[in-house]
Chain A
C-alpha cells in the first residue's frame, strides 16, 4: 500500500518491536531512521542483515535500542561506530553477537516456516559460548558430527530503502535479494523509495525479475534521497563529508547530541 507520508509508513514500528534492517550496500532507510528517532521510538530489538553502520549507531546513540542482534557495526572507512562502542562498553544495550551467515540462516528459517536452521562453523568460537539460545546437536544423519542449530529470527517489521516502486506497492530490489528474504520473514514490511512509477513492475519482465511483490509489503512511502547520507547503489554516492562530520561529532556524547540537534531534530520535514 502506498501511503502519503513517511509518518504513516512508519506506524507499524512500535516501541519494543523486533526490527530488521538492511546492510549498508543494500538500501538503508536513513530518512525513516531519523523520523523514528524524532518520534522517540524506544526499546527496539534491532536485527541487522547482517551488519550495520550509521543506522545502528544513530539509533543506539539516540537511546532507541534495547537489544542488538548483529555480526558487526562499523562506519567502514570512517572508523569505528562510536555510539555502538560506547554503549557496549557501558552495558546499556543487550548484545546478541552473531556472524553474518547465522543471521541470514536464522531469518531464512522464518522465511521457510521452520523453527531453526543448522549452520556449520561456530563450534569453538566464543560467540557460541555467549549465545545460550544456540544449541549444538549431533548430526542425526551422521556420526560424531556436532552442528549448531540457530533458532528462527522473526522480525515484527522489516525496513529498507529501494530505488523504485509502482502504484500497486510492488518494489524493485534488483539483485539485493536479502531484502526479499527480510520481507518474507517479517510480519510487516515498510519500504521507502526514490520513485513511484505508474506502470506495474510485473508488466516489464526485466523489472519483474528484480521485484518484490507488493503482497509482502505493508507500506511504501516516497522519500527521495531516503538513504542519505549513505549511498543508494546506482543512484547516488555516500556523502563522505557528512559521514566524516558524523564520525567526528559522535566520538563524544555531547558531540552526538549536537549532531542529533543539527541533522535529526532540525530536519522536521526530512
Chain B
C-alpha cells in the first residue's frame, strides 16, 4: 500500500483537473499535454465512460476520422465542452502568449506558435489553462503577444473561454465578467505568500486560504494501474517517468 502522503505533484494536478472536468460530455486534449490527458482519462474512468475523451496524437483515444480539421469543426458545432491551453506567458486577464517574448519582429524568446488557441479559446465553453511553472516569468501582468485573448467585446462571437488556471503551486478560478483570477486553492506545501511573490499579476484572494485536496489512495491506485497504461500509447516518456515503479 502507498502511504497517503506519497504521491507526486503530477498526480495531484491530474486529480484536481479531473475534478474540474467532471460531468461534461466531451473533453479534447491537444498536443504535448500529458497531465491534462491523464486527467481526462481519470474523469472518464470515474464517470463510467463520460466524458468522451479525444487525445490528439493518439490513434486509439479519439473517434475522429475526418483529418485534423474534425477536432476544430467538432468544437465549432459545440460538441467539445472542455479543452486545455497553456502559454509561455499568461496574464491577469487570461490572455495567453504562445508566440514570443519581447518585440514580435525581433523576439527575445521564440515559442512554438499558437496551435489551435486562437480558435478553441473562443468556442470551447470550459477552457482550462495549465502551466506547471508558476513564476513571474510565466504569469505576467501583460503578455507580450496575444495568441488568444481571455475575453472579448460583447459583439464578438464567443461561446467559450477560460474557467481556471492551474499551476504547480495553486488553482485559480477565472471570472469572465470581472476579467480577473481568484485564488481557489493552494497546493499542499505552498503558501499564499509564496503565490503572491511568484505571480506577476494581481488577483483576488479568498478570506480563508484553502488547500488543494491531496489525491486519495483510491485515486492513486486508479491512476497507476488503469490510467497509466492508457496514457502510455501517446506519452511513453512521461508515463515511464511519473508512474514507473509506483504501482501500489
Point out residues on A near B: beta carbons under 8 Å: 23, 25-26, 49-51, 70-74, 76-77, 80-81, 84-85, 88-89, 91, 97-102, 104-105, 108, 119-128, 130, 144-147, 175-181, 233-234, 240
Contacts and interface: CB of A to CB of B under 8 A. Distances in A.
Given A49-B68, A80-B110, 15 more contacts: A70-B113, A71-B113, A73-B112, A74-B113, A77-B238, A99-B115, A100-B115, A104-B72, A119-B119, A121-B123, A124-B153, A126-B146, A178-B67, A178-B68, A181-B69
B19 interface: no
Interface residues of B, number: 49
Contact of A145 (B104, B115, B155): B155
Task: Give 5 closest A-B pairs by Cβ, nearest first.
Answer: A72-B113, A177-B67, A178-B67, A74-B112, A99-B118
Contacts, number: 142
Most buried by A among B109, B111, B112: B112
Interface in B11-42: 31-32
Contacts of B57: 25
A126 B106 contact: no
Interface of B: 31-32, 56-57, 59, 64-70, 72, 76, 98-100, 104-107, 109-123, 145-149, 152-153, 155-157, 235, 237-238
Contacts of B156: 123-124, 146
Most buried by B among A127, A128, A177: A127
A145 B153 CA distance: 11
Contacts of A70: 113
Contact of B31 (A76, A123, A127, A178): A76
A99 B118 CA distance: 6
Given A125-B148, A178-B69, A89 B115 contact: no
A242 B191 CA distance: 42
A127 B157 contact: no
Most buried by B among A26, A51, A72: A72
